[in-house]
Amino acid sequence: MTKTLVIAEKPSVAQDIVRALTPVAGKFDKHEDHFENDRYVVTSAVGHLVEIQAPEEFDVKRGKWSFAHLPVIPPYFDLKPVDKTKSRLNAVVKQAKRKDVTELINACDAGREGELIFRLIEQYAGGAKPLGKPVKRLWLQSMTPQAIRDGFDALRTEQQMAGLASAARSRSEADWLVGINGTRAMTAFNSRDGGFFLTTVGRVQTPTLSLVVEREEKIRKFVSRDYWEIHATFGAEAGEYPAKWFDPKWKKSEDVEARADRVWSAAEAQSIANAVRGKQATVTEESKPTTQASPLLFDLTSLQREANGKFGFSAKTTLALAQSLYERHKALTYPRTDSRALPEDYLPVAKQTFEMLADSGMRHLAPHAATALAGNYIRPTKRIFDNSKVSDHFAIIPTLQAPSGLSEAEQKLYDLVVRRFMAVFFPSAEYTVTTRISTVAPHSFKTEGKVLVKPGWLAIYGKEAADEVEGGKDGDKGQNLVPVKPGESVNTVAVDPKGLKTKPPARYSEATLLGAMESAGKQIDDEELRSAMQEKGLGTPATRAAIIEGLLTEKYMLREGREIIPTAKAFQLMTLLRGLEVEELCRADLTGEWEFKLSQMEKGLLTREAFMQQIAAMTERMVKKAKEYDRDTIPGDYATLESPCPNCGGVVKENYRRFACVGKPGAEPCGFSFGKSPAGRTFETAEANALLRDKKIGPLEGFRSKAGWPFTSEIVIKYDDEAHNYKLEFDFGDDKKGEESGELVEFADASLGACPICGSEVHEHGSNYVCSKAVPTAAQPTPSCTFKSGKIILQQPVEREQMHKLLETGKTDLLDKFVSMRTRRAFKAHLAWDKEAGKVNFEFAPSKFPPRPGAATKTIAPKAGKTSATAKKAPAKKAAAKTTAAKAPRKAAAGKAPSAALAAVIGTDPVARPEAVKKLWEYIKAHNLQDPKDKRTIVADDKLRAVFGKDSAGMFELAGLLGQHLGD
């Protein structure tokens, strides 16, 4: 009997497909890497299993990154397995090559990346010749069992997916060509004077970075100007009201800071105030009703922006939460969408969703859903239901499944989506807007009042949100005005000039940067016009978070609170690209055009060959510009350091490559200089000043050795007797032992705890805390781990006690002596282990900036099989600490040894019953053992069956069932 192989993108989706198909296709048997019954074999990738690479004859290894080997434009691309998932790839390929498998179904995520993941696996499985098995496409926009079954009833053909497949491959190859050639060309240019200065660029990441750099340049160059406003209070028979002077004849000019209500001299402001003080004013007034519709439904980018603004969530965190609500909880529709509308036949589903919300028991949401149903608000409208505005996926909305067991962060995001979904169906908010002009000839004063008459959709958000929408930028809006009778004269009770200063543009937050990426840098505030620009944006909704995170990882940008700030490395790259006149990598709108062409290709309106020819031409031009540049320096806006030359006391100025002495006025330079980017780490101007002033700085992180290893070091300036001048040197202290020389390290101190990466012991080593497997030791001469954290971070000493606490609990106490290298301001933060990033990061105060879900909030688990005292005791200590904190001053519950059956699920360490229940729930959720139809029922696997003594158990039975498995 022949079978059909279904390949999902993730194991959890494969399990959902099996559950959905079982009632209609029969029971599946579970194997190590797949599920199988008489009709289907279901397996999955774990994201990308295969990536493209240049054929061997075109590949250039690092160390030979010179212009002689550029550009690299291979006629075709080979494939290579992703190292960490090679075994998974082999398992999928094995199923694809089975003789009884005669058809494939691509069940990867519905979008460009899901298409690419499947196509590369299929190509790799075929080897030298195509696999030759017909392919159909499962296109899922919801993960409910019925939606999955409906998807199998409406599989798409190979021909229907051809455009998306071409766009997926073209995007991948274009990013490879621009990224590889651009990075190697700029690295070769920056390494001309020796060393290896890795300079990464990308087709989307670099134009995104240019947006941030351009904004920072405007801030730095901004010169604040004084201006004045004239504020008055007028008295009528019914009471007093405020007003502000304005020029009714004012028109926009080239002065972007000019406004109708601003004057530019104190004398003029005082003259106006003196002219009207104590005088009578005549009043004209106009009142008119106005309405405000709710915002559109969420796509991914607008959801990320809203979550960043409201909760401080990063774009990456929002995407992870939305993906969890879609995949794991089945509570939201597919999140990686750029659509803000629903299909025209979705009205019945929308009504059913309101019915689910009204009956859900969610007391903060259910009443509004009931109101909408009673008022017949769910009606067809082109603003919500429009097929022409639905791309591969529709807007993000709640599904018919009410969620349970959400984390706090998941609940916040779910509520955000549900409120927006309900609001779009509610009536518009209705206001009465009154504009009152009080005139003391020839001067006019304006007062605006905006009174909410009917809240409409604002009722869903409560009074606080209604007040926020009512108010304006000025203090005289959003108020109930006292009435003025027709023809009544009013008195000028008070009038005062108010001195103010113009402000520079705000730095980007993730919310505003996502908006700028969406519109390719064009400042578009109107939501519906922004929607029309989306196809020309930078990246896609699914990739923008990763682009921002990549720039942060490469140290091109820093996150400080909610602000995103470019580093010196970013400015240096932009200076280089502008100097080389490589416009394509600098201008967001030009690169946005490439994204538009990819979307045209998806629709069959542009050929893959034409697009790739344009990318190849762009690549060749970029390399040619770098290769043929023959001037000594790159023109740019360079700094002059405050600290004098240590050799002659002269002025030290920046150029493209170095900070160099230009001598005292009227004197020749002495020859002192130092490179801006030693070992690939670029000095900030403040750091260079501190280095000259103190003759040393650090320890600083972010350096890379010639072999590519990251290291931390102090930098010192020492006098060289031979050169009769000062020169820059690295000062490793004890760290040089092992890191640079290869000498074996012996640790003399006691272990601080278990390494969060590999579970080995962490020790002090020179100016760092390092994993014992991150340096050469007698036990392991070749390092295999990367964990390292400085003993001083941004001038904050990190004591042994704090590092021990971080390793044991996931984060330190709140430390208050960090100093930003960018702003020179002190700030407070916890140091926390960030599992996703694989490093120690900052965690700010929860009230302002909530921590990432899952990051630095759990005990760091020791490596499986670890038996040291440190590894064994950590979880027990944490359990006791948590219980004490929650129930102080009551004594923490003593841990009890679990039975053999329970130990197979939660481990062998003694635990209190609450901790055992918590661990059991972690196991249940990790293995998706909640009944999809009734989340309160746990379906037992083999391990849980031994604990429960039956095939299933209710969630409220768990504590009782565990009691018999916890002995003394």
The residues near 697 (Cβ < 8 Å, ≥ 6 apart) are: 687, 690, 691, 714, 715
What is residue 786's predicted lDDT score, i.e. its pLDDT? 87
Walk along the chain (968 residues) in steps of 10 and give the mean pLDDT of each run.
93 92 95 94 93 82 74 91 92 95 93 91 89 92 84 94 94 92 90 78 91 92 94 94 95 90 96 95 94 93 92 92 92 90 90 93 89 94 89 87 91 96 95 93 92 90 57 50 90 95 93 87 53 67 88 89 90 92 83 85 93 94 91 86 93 92 91 89 91 89 71 87 88 55 74 91 87 86 86 85 92 85 74 87 65 40 34 37 38 66 83 78 79 74 84 74 72
Q: Is 186 helix (H, G, I), strand (E, B) or coil?
A: helix
What is residue 691's predicted lDDT score, i.e. its pLDDT? 93
Place of tokens 């460009």: 112
Give, for 411, the enclosing helix (H) or strand (E).
helix 408-423
Alpha-carbon distance 653 to 646, whole Å?
13
Q: Any idea what DSSP says for residue 507?
A: P
Active site residue 334: yes
Alpha-carbon distance 496 to 609, whole Å?
68
Hey, what amino acid is at 271?
S
> In angstroms, what CA-CA distances link 945 with 28, 901, 916, 941?
19, 9, 16, 6
Which of 334, 414, 431, 769 is catalytic? The answer is 334
Alpha-carbon distance 257 to 721, whole Å?
56
Any idea what the Cα angle at residue 100 is, between residues 97 and 106, rounded to 5°? Answer: 60
Q: Is 619 helix (H, G, I), strand (E, B) or coil?
A: helix
Place of tokens 């105060």: 845
The residues near 355 (Cβ < 8 Å, ≥ 6 apart) are: 369, 373
Hey, what amino acid is at 236?
A
Alpha-carbon distance 432 to 780, whole Å?
76
Taking CB atoms within 8 Å and a gap of at least 24, the contacts of 600-603 are: 601/163, 601/166, 601/167, 601/170, 602/112, 602/163, 602/164, 602/166, 602/167, 603/163
Alpha-carbon distance 234 to 213, whole Å?
47
> In angstroms, what CA-CA distances link 444 with 70, 226, 496, 658?
67, 22, 14, 57
Q: Any idea what DSSP says for residue 677?
A: S
Contact 266, 228 (CB under 8 A): yes
Q: Quote the pTM value.
A: 0.68
Taking CB atoms within 8 Å and a gap of at least 24, the contacts of 926-934 are: 928/12, 928/15, 928/328, 930/405, 932/19, 932/145, 932/330
